[in-house]
Amino acid sequence: MVIFIRAVSSEWSFRPQHGTLMPHGGRPPHLESVQRFVEAILDRDVHIDMVINSAGIMACPETRVGPGWEAQFATNHLGHFALINRLRPILEGGARVISVSSAGHHISAMHWEDVQFTQGYEKWQAYGQSKTANALFAVHLDHLWKDSGVRAFSLHPGKILTPLQRYLTREEMVAAGWIDENGALADMTFKTPEQGAATQVWAATTPQLDGLGGLYCEDCDVAEIAADGDRSFKGVCRYAVDPEQAERLWNLSADLTGVGGRR
């Protein structure tokens, strides 16, 4: 097991029992750090059986990274897109790629007219778009690579209180009903981190998904397609698993990152 992280700090309490922490010195959209990581992995002459793309940020202030990319789209999608495409030689022959999306994809489809939010930034729309991108990435990746033995899935891990909420104020989380005025959990549908990891591990390992791909999962199962206009945030929106949208996103991502090739 190899864990690709920004840095190992003294505050990190987790250390893998059978694996390696690999600091890369930059956020995922810094393509140079992705390339350095991939070169280090390729030097090991190993085959990778599964990859879980889980790095992400949520509802941050407007931030530009790289050549002016909107930070949530870049961090949550483009970095993973570049990483997986560069890892392809050691995935072929049998692997699963897990793209951690979110029920937050219900907030927004792709903003094709302004993917980088240059005409006006709204943090939740940008987050929703990035999570839709995660699901679409799995759809087209699976379509392109399944004949090489690589299958891809996306998923909603559940609502979990973690540092993902670092950009939200207490007032915002109280207003959302997530916590109470004292900071205690108020929404009992939230999961523990261990419960939140369950669907990711399930999607990466379960034989129930053998021979399948391009699916969106939740609660250790394949999600149903949400009805148009359904605001329950259950299931997956049609636009997040639409093959034409997925191909369009792949081509845009290939143009932006210089990897993957237009398909």
Burial of 11 (0-12, 13-18, 19+ CB in 10 A): exposed
Q: Which of 98, 105, 167 is nearest to 133 (CA)?
A: 105
Q: 69: part of which helix (H) or strand (E)?
A: strand 69-70
Q: How many CB atoms lie within 10 A of CB 5?
A: 15
Which of 127, 167, 216, 239 is flagged as catalytic? 127
Helix (H) or strand (E) holding 216: strand 215-218
216 catalytic residue (yes or no):
no
Contact 28, 34 (CB under 8 A): yes
DSSP one-letter code for 18: T
Residues designated catalytic? 127
